[in-house]
Structure formats: C-alpha cells, structure tokens
C-alpha cells in the first residue's frame, strides 16, 4: 500500500480515494474568463468540489456547500465551449458576460446540453493594494437545458 493509500485507510476514507490522492494532475487557471470556467468544470469533473467552489467571488458562492456539491453527484464529466466575450471595465472593476455551452455526461452515461451565460468579475489589479488578493471569479450563472447541438449551443452574446 502506498503512503497515500495508507493515509486514506487511516482517515476512514476522508480523502476522496487513493487514486485521487496519487493523481497530482491539477488545473487552476484564472487568467481569462474562459480559463476560469474551464478550471471550474475540471474541478467538477474530478469531484474536487472545494476547488470548484473557490471559483465563486466572495459572497457570491451558493450558501449551502453541501447541497450545492450534492447537486453534482450524478455528474461524471463536463465539456465546455464558449461564445465571444469582451471585458466591460468601469470604476476599477472589470466584468465579462461569458456565453457558454456545457455537455454534461451523467454517471448513467446519458448526456445533457446546457446553454447560457456566466458573469465573471475581477477588481482592477492595480487597485488591490491590501491583502487578501481577490482573484477573478464567478458572480453569476444562468444556464438552461437545450436541444441545440453542443457545438452550436453557446449564445453569441450575454
């Protein structure tokens, strides 16, 4: 047994699994709105719910982490594609309306396509002069199930 497997066994399964503990593959990129949302769904697809939850801006995260994470219990993986977006700067704040399409694969093998928009926010980096640093984050999501094929489902504008 590896030391990570031993830790998982000794902690009574507190770690998601020995396989997750040994897999150091990691994606956490907040450099663009698209990379942020890709990182969010990477975390969801890998059942890294605390990481996924961290992509919400302060005070914008769902209030009940347990219920929110349980909402993904039947999600095996998520693919994401984007429509065009431009920054909307003003008064030291930058917002993006990011069009998205999601292809979710459920644990039973079925797929569901969603279409909609994420609102992404970042405070002007030059105006952040006191810790803690506030990275780019999700402030809102509006998604609806759609019958449009995944490749065409991202709106052209939010």
pLDDT of 75-133, one tens digit each? Answer: 999 999 999 999 998 888 999 999 999 999 999 999 999 999 999 999 988 888 889 88
Token pair, residue 115, equals 């279409």
CB atoms within 10 A of CB 117: 20
For 157, list phi and psi in degrees, rounded to 5: -155, 145
Is it the case that residue 142 has pLDDT exceeding 80? yes
Q: Would you state the torsion angle of the CA atoms of residues 8, 28, 83, 53, taken in this order, to the nearest 10 degrees?
A: 60
Phi-psi region of 59 (alpha: psi -120 to 50; beta: other; left: phi over 0): left
List, as one string, the DSSP characters of 112-129. Answer: EEEEEEEEEEEE-GGG--
Q: For residues 148 and 140, is the Cβ–Cβ distance under 8 A?
A: no
CB atoms within 10 A of CB 125: 12
Q: For residues 151 and 123, is the Cβ–Cβ distance under 8 A?
A: no
Which pTM does this prediction carry?
Answer: 0.82
Is it the case that residue 18 has pLDDT exceeding 50? no
CB atoms within 10 A of CB 113: 19
Q: How confident is the model at residue 150 (pLDDT cuts 50, 70, 90)?
A: very high
Distance between CA 85 and CA 43 in Å, rounded?
Answer: 23
Is it the case that residue 2 has pLDDT exceeding 50? no
| Per-residue model confidence (pLDDT) at position 22 | 65
H/E stretch holding 98 reads strand 93-106
Distance in angstroms between the alpha carbons of the first and the last residue of the chain: 51
CATH architecture for the domain at 24-152 = Roll (3.10)
Distance between CA 53 and CA 149 in Å, rounded?
Answer: 28
């Amino acid at each position: 047994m590896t030391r990570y497997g031993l830790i998982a066994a000794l902690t009574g399964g507190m770690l998601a699994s020995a396989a997750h503990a040994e897999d150091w593959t990691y994606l956490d990129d907040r450099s663009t709105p698209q990379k942020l949302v890709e990182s969010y769904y990477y975390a969801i697809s890998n059942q890294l719910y605390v990481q996924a939850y961290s992509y919400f801006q302060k005070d914008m995260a769902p209030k009940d982490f347990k219920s929110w994470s349980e909402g993904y219990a039947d999600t095996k993986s998520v693919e994401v594609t984007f429509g065009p977006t431009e920054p909307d700067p003003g008064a030291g704040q930058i917002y993006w309306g990011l069009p998205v399409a999601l292809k979710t694969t459920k644990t039973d093998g079925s797929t569901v396509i969603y279409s909609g928009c994420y609102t992404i926010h970042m405070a002007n980096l030059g105006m952040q002069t006191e810790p803690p640093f506030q990275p780019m984050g999700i402030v809102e999501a509006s998604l609806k199930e759609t019958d449009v094929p995944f490749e065409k489902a991202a709106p052209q504008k939010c």
